[in-house]
Structure 1
Amino acid sequence: MRALPLIVLLLCAPAISAVPDTMAQRLAACTSCHGSTPAGDAGTNAGTGERRYYPRIAGKPAGYLYNQLLNFREGRRQYPLMTWMVGHLSDDYLREIAAYFSSQHLPAPVLSRAGLPAAELERGRQLVTRGDPALRIPACIACHGERLTGALPAIPGLVGLPRDYINAQFGAWRNGSRRAHAPDCMAAIASRLSLSDVAAVSGWLASEPLPEDAAPAAAPARPLPLACGSAPEVRP
């Protein structure tokens, strides 16, 4: 049987539709880990962070997301896939990526409290809402907001994150594989927490539902309890 001429094959081939040049399309690689975007499916929307070790990035302040992309690019955070993806991107494009995900305000899965030890949950609640002055650990809400949804321009929300991801980040701060601009306030806090306290904080945070309005606050409500190199200090 004679082979058909190339021109005939091309004419008979189905039309290939053009790929839309949108940020959603460009960032499909990001959402493959941090959440996909089928319309109407709140559980799998962009940035919901369904997988246990990937964070929910939807709705985080653009300044925070930009700082983290820089940290991956410049080696202050260690995750080879992220470093490879952002290593050759410009500052301006990283800002575009951060702005895109900061505009996504979507639901997130919540860990059930039914199977968590009551004493662990209570310790977690105390650390998150009141801190522990004896250990020089400020309350999480002192920086991340009363609703734990973060604050502009660069303080992230803590609710909506998977427990395993939170545990992993405390470990990364403790061993130095995650760093921020000095003074690195989270590294200092992580070094003062016991492993049981880390478990208590992660359990409480992961089981706290997002408020109806999960947008970050316009600014921290009070001066920060510790100097943090990644966020400007707020004064009254």
Structure 2
Amino acid sequence: MRKVDCRFSDFLAASRRIAVFVMIAALFAVSGRLQAQAQSTVTASDSTATRVMACTACHGEQGRGSGDDYFPRLAGKPPGYLYNQLVAFRDGQRKYPPMNYLLAYLPDTYLREMADYFAAQQTPFPAMPKTNVGAQVLALGKKLVLTGDEARHIPACVACHGVSLTGVAPDIPGLLGLHSKYISAQLGASRYGTRIANKPNCMQTLTSRLSEADITAASAYLSSLPAPANPAPAPAGSLKLALTCEGTETK
């Protein structure tokens, strides 16, 4: 039985490696000027839409999101945020091997082009699975998202991500249309320092004050919210942020 388990484990590991290499090949195959397909007169257009096909394989067509818990929606997020995350994956600040490998040799200009492409997409939000947490957990999540916890110096999510939670241009992301497991994983990664942003790191300052229960509750509440009427991020400078990004609250 152990031999069967071992072989199956090896098969899964090999499959994952193959998937990574396929994604890498797809990205570089469609980047730059595409060559004529072998034994065919049909060629793909040299456009950003074709060059980001490796991204949409996981993040959905036009970056609209998918049914996978851990592949987030990219469409409509502020371009500065998307660009910063692409750079973080390329330079190893964010750790996820498929993304690290895909972006390892791409220049800043290409990453900015990708970010601008997904930021410009306005696609329907994916349907989120119904939350399976209790009413008390959702109530705590709602409190943290909408009003925060003053006693623990935890500002509300809306205080930085906008009243509609669609983000703020140019680099604060929206929080809607994301699976609760993804939100929870990213908050936890920030809390424990495995997701590192360029300094000053606002989110690590904030998430260090959150408990596991807080993260579960906020994630569940955010994923339970409907798609916004207007998915566009709030304009730059339209919101006085709750944190200065130096670890202290603004006055």
Contact 1:145 1:221 in 2 (8 A): no
State the Cα distance separating 1:175 from its structure 2 match.
2.2
Aligned to 2:133: 116
Q: Tell whether 2:47 aligns with 1:22.
A: yes
**Other-structure match for 1:5:** none
Match of 2:145 among 121, 128, 143: 128
Letter in 2 for 1:125: K
Whether the 8 Å CA contact 1:153–1:219 is kept in 2: the answer is: yes
Structure 1 residue ranges, 4+ long, deviating more than 4 angstroms after superposition: none
Task: Provide TM-score, normalisation by structure 2.
Answer: 0.78
Higher helix share: 2
What is the DSSP-based 3-state SS (H/G/I as helix, E as strand, rest coil) of the residue aligned with 1:192? coil
Length, aligned pairs only = 211
Q: Tell me the TM-score normalised to structure 1 length.
A: 0.83
1:46-66 deviation per Cα after TM superposition (whole angstroms, max 9, x unaligned) = 332431101111000001100
Between structure 1 and structure 2, the one with the greater Rg is 1
Unaligned 5+ segments in structure 1 are 1-12, 37-44, 230-234
Q: 2:115 aligns with which of 67, 78, 98?
A: 98
Q: Secondary structure at 2:83's aligned position in 1?
A: helix
Q: Are 1:164 and 2:189 an aligned pair?
A: no
Identity of paired residues, percent? 47
Aligned twin of 1:213: 230
Q: Is the Cα–Cα contact under 8 Å of residues 120 and 200 in structure 1 kept in the other structure? A: yes
Once the two structures are superposed, the pairs formed by residues 1-236 of structure 1 within 5 Å of their partners are 15-36=40-61, 46-111=63-128, 115-228=132-245
Query: How many Å separate the matches in 1 of 2:228 and 2:103?
Result: 32
Secondary structure in 2 aligned to 1:59? coil
1:146 partner amino acid: V
Larger RCO, structures 1/2 (Cα 8 Å, 6+ apart): 1
Q: Is the partner of 2:63 in helix, strand or coil?
A: coil
- On the 8 A contact 1:49/1:161 being kept in 2, the answer is no
Q: Which runs of 5+ in 2 are unaligned?
A: 1-37
